[in-house]
Amino acid sequence: MHNRPLTLAAIALAAVLGLAAGASNEARAAGASRAVDTAAALAALPDPIGVTEQMVVHGLSGFALDGLDPVSFFLPEGPRAGRGAYELVWKGAAWRFRTASNRAAFAAGPERFAPRLGGYDPIALAEGRLAQGRADLFAVVDGRLYLFHDPRNLARFSGSRAVIENAEAVWPRLAAGLVAPAEGS
């Protein structure tokens, strides 16, 4: 599976550049040639690490939680950026950590630190729809991390057990329709 939207965007960009006002036929032909070369190069790239939809990941980097350390959400100082020196792959997503000890804690029990519901918004799930949560809109309830799509949903949530129960009940059905991580991820 390759990043087809990125390939198509590269082709479109090259075509637009080639058709710029005042461009000669030669310039347009060169732009079209570059578009084909760019598309071929992008198509040949290996898939990004984060080839999964069952866990929300950054579209370009493949990092879960936008590269924030998942363990840090549970610490007094709150979410902190992870570092490239401390990474691991779990459930098809790349996870970054601030320290080696945080990485070790996650590796020992990733379900404890990873966002519940794959990082999807529990309010939206309770309503029967998928909306990707954002790492900057979160709540920790009963030792579980929940992400929200927008500030309104975070405000509506306020730790509601009913919302959590409804979202947890709907999640398996909706997750079944999403791209699962490759085995061994």
**Sequence ranges of the domains in the chain:** 4-44, 65-175
- C-alpha to C-alpha distance for 154 and 11, rounded to whole angstroms: 38
Backbone angles phi, psi at 97, to 5 degrees: -135, 150
pLDDT tens profile 33-68: 665 665 555 455 444 444 458 888 887 788 999 999
Q: pTM for this structure?
A: 0.71
H or E element that contains 140 = strand 134-141
Residue located via tokens 């098809």:
92
pLDDT tens profile 64-111: 999 999 999 999 999 999 999 999 999 888 999 999 999 999 999 999
159 confidence band (pLDDT: 50, 70, 90): confident
- C-alpha to C-alpha distance for 87 and 98, rounded to whole angstroms: 9
pLDDT > 70: what percent of the chain? Answer: 69
Q: Which of 179, 175, 115, 177 is nearest to 147 (CA)?
A: 115
Overall residue count recorded for the chain in this entry: 185
- C-alpha to C-alpha distance for 148 and 135, rounded to whole angstroms: 8
pLDDT of residue 97: 98
DSSP state of 93: E
User: Contact, 133 vs 149, CB < 8 A?
Assistant: yes
- C-alpha to C-alpha distance for 160 and 21, rounded to whole angstroms: 56
- C-alpha to C-alpha distance for 92 and 164, rounded to whole angstroms: 25
The helix/strand/coil state of 124 is helix
